[in-house]
Structure 1
Amino acid sequence: MQELIRITVPNDQQLVSARDLYKGLELKIRFSLWVSKNFDDFEEGVDFMSVSTDTDMPNGGTKPIKDYALTIDMAKQLCLMSRTEKGKQYRKYLIEVERKWNDPQEIVKRGYAILQNENTQLKLENKNLTIQLEESNKKASYLDVILGAPDALAITQIAADYGYNAKDFNKLLHKARIQHKVNGQWILYKVYMGQGYVTTKPFTFVDHKGITRSRPSTYWTQKGRKLIYDILKDNDVLPLIERSDIE
């Protein structure tokens, strides 16, 4: 069957453009006058609804104009009301379109298509939930690492969790306003001091003269590692175990 007028199917309802129908019927009166004379017997929101469409301009551009989306039933009645040969032709075409639409096999096909679409949507939602769960598990796994290591750790060990060396990681913590350097030693900013985030252990070493010496060295507690994790996460810095670009 040759297409006389374009049929759209939003939300499983067949609709036609009033302007397309008006043009096809080859009516002599203005479109706006045709609408005012013939639409009074129909209910907006049930039989038709106002829409906007674009029309080509002589200069090559386009501009929006008012149109109406008509149900097949309303379009058939407008064809009948036109009392023209074109009206008969278009009404016959729309009746055939409607007949095919209501054919039991077509109804089954549409139902199957709807189920397929819903199934696809469900799969996408499940995939998103799986991704969210995986991300949640990743986060939990790193926190488990922290909770499972009660001993205080040197910054070198924590830096390795993030793919940094100790020197660069200390600078990162400084940039994140966690610590600053005083007399060559990294010290927490005042807001974090005295809250159990760090502890001090003696670091023993042999100097260039062969003399054994000892100096205090900062170690991070489990609570301190959690502080680092939370602050760096807010700055979009994640441990390797949580980074999506790391397999």
Structure 2
Amino acid sequence: MSTDNNTSAIAELIPVRDHEGQQVASGRDLHAFLGMSSNYTTWFDRMVGYGFVEGKDYITLTGEVSSKNGKNLGGRPSIDHAVTFDMAKELGMIQRTPEGKRIREYFIEIEKQTREQSTVAALPSRAQLAQMVLDAERELEAAKLQAELDAPKIRYHERFIAEMDDIITIEYFASHWGTTGPKVRQMLKDKKIAVRRCIGKKWDKSKGYMVDEFEWRPRQGTRYQEWFVVRPQHNAPRHHNGQVRQTMYLFSFHSEDLAAKLGLTQPVMFDGGDAA
């Protein structure tokens, strides 16, 4: 007899049912299949002596007719037990009979089929796969849209927050683009990007008289003024009145913008040595 036919035959004699979410078998059906000579209650009490625990391995069912034949003998409420698969397999082993071996193999086969069915049920269907693909595409589009919405914020952060302290002098800018500070300042004046402002006078020893003092400022009211910042330069000589010199710096992230505006197209390539 094949395993499937054997399983089907036993299933007719020992049907499996659900009890409070767990698959169980009837103790009376097991007793009948095993062909035990003693009555059911006596036999089951003896089996419990092998260490089975009520509430874990079995549950007592009083007043329910749960066996296959459905008979209630003796005019008293039928007592049956909902037996777990593990207990049913051990009961089969305890008997040491062909019927006991068949019971053990029967419940092992049921557990195997249950696992296989659970695995198949866990796999998504075609419709579920298609929906998963659609959901993934929607999430990707939403992420792209959010990235586009966040782009201005990111650029603002990079320019005005992350790099707010990354400034360079006009001399450094000029050397980087292969020219000089005076030439760059003249171009800034010619392009109306910056102005030279007189901030007072100082005594010139070589000339023997007072001369004007100047500082550079970005031209106000233009879009170029945000390319620069004026800050105290504490390492430069102070003015004649003791005030700290105010120096116009260029934000480094606007270097290429300024170079393009001034027509400077090729930065100097340093070799990384001391001359750099």
Q: Please confirm whether the aligned pair reaches a TM-score higher than 0.5, indicating the same fold.
A: no
Which one has the largest radius of gyration? 2
TM-score when normalising by structure 2: 0.36
Bigger relative contact order, structure 1 or 2, given CA contacts below 8 A and separation 6+? 1
